[in-house]
Amino acid sequence: MVQQVSDFFEDFGFIGMFIHSFIDAIIFPIPAFFTQVSLSLINPQSAILLATVGYIACLLGTPIGYLIGHKLGEPILHKFLKKKWIDKATDSIHRNGEAAILIGAFTPIPFKVFTILSGCFHFSIWKLIGYAAIGRAFKFYIVGISFYLFGQASEEFITNYLTYIMGGIAIILLGLFYIKRKFGKGKKQSVEKQKKGNRKIVWKEG
């Protein structure tokens, strides 16, 4: 099925890349990654332009996925996507929405899960678009640049190792968000203690 979908969009070239990436951000279950790789294999010299087309289309589709989640809610996800993807994304957004969106933008979990769930949970649409812009740029352009520089030799790297690299980056980002969170809590507690101490001093002086 994945191959058939890629072959279909591949026939339309850049337009096919745009359409696939656009609907990928909304509800389509098969990622635009496969069409990007297929088209990049055909003409590696156009791989960066192809990545740009896919990237722009994805950003245009992101707010539409958000609105679908906002209006129709979670049931539509269960109709089109795997439960394990939905459960992972839901847990991530509940724990730390910002980190979940950024990491989800370039991990193997389909991004439409995050766009729709962001709408379901009323996550900021501007933050969603901002983090999508960062994460999706990484995902599209690492493929585009690899094919542009190394041609068809990049296929094995992209198909076999890219997922592991992105997974490693996701772990690093999670660690950074965790440190930031702990530091923020510690700073907040320190400020609150200082305020309490100041109130006690004022009360004694009074």
State the pLDDT at residue 162: 72
**Phi, psi for 12 (deg, rounded to 5):** -100, 5
C-alpha dihedral, 169 to 147 to 22 to 9, nearest 10°: -140
Q: Which domain holds residue 126?
A: 2-205
State the pLDDT at residue 184: 63
pLDDT in tens, the chain (206 residues): 777 888 889 889 999 999 999 998 888 888 888 899 999 999 999 999 999 999 999 999 999 989 988 887 667 666 666 677 667 666 666 666 677 777 777 666 677 878 888 888 778 888 889 988 888 888 899 899 999 999 988 888 887 777 667 767 667 766 776 676 677 665 555 555 565 555 555 455 55
Which two tokens mark 147? 């094919």
State the pLDDT at residue 111: 77
**pLDDT tens readout for residues 60-84:** 999 998 998 888 766 766 666 667 7
State the pLDDT at residue 170: 67
Confidence (pTM): 0.74
Residues contacting residue 134 through CB under 8 Å, at least 6 positions apart = 102, 105
State the pLDDT at residue 59: 93
Domains of the chain: total: 1
What is the number of other CB atoms lying within 10 angstroms of the CB of residue 129? 16
In order, the DSSP letters of the chain are -HHHHHHHHHTTHHHHHHHHHHHHTTT-SS-THHHHHHHHHH-GGGHHHHHHHHHHHHHHHHHHHHHHHHHH-THHHHHHS-HHHHHHHHHHHHH-HHHHHHHHTTSSS-HHHHHHHHHHTT--HHHHHHHHHHHHHHHHHHHHHHHHHHGGGHHHHHHHHHHHHHHHHHHHHHHHHHHHHHHHHHHHHHHHHHHHHHHHHHHHH-
What is the number of other CB atoms lying within 10 angstroms of the CB of residue 67? 15
Is the backbone of residue 124 left (phi > 0), alpha (psi -120 to 50) or beta? Answer: beta
**pLDDT tens readout for residues 174-205:** 677 667 667 766 555 555 556 555 555 545 55
State the pLDDT at residue 55: 95
**Phi, psi for 121 (deg, rounded to 5):** -95, 10
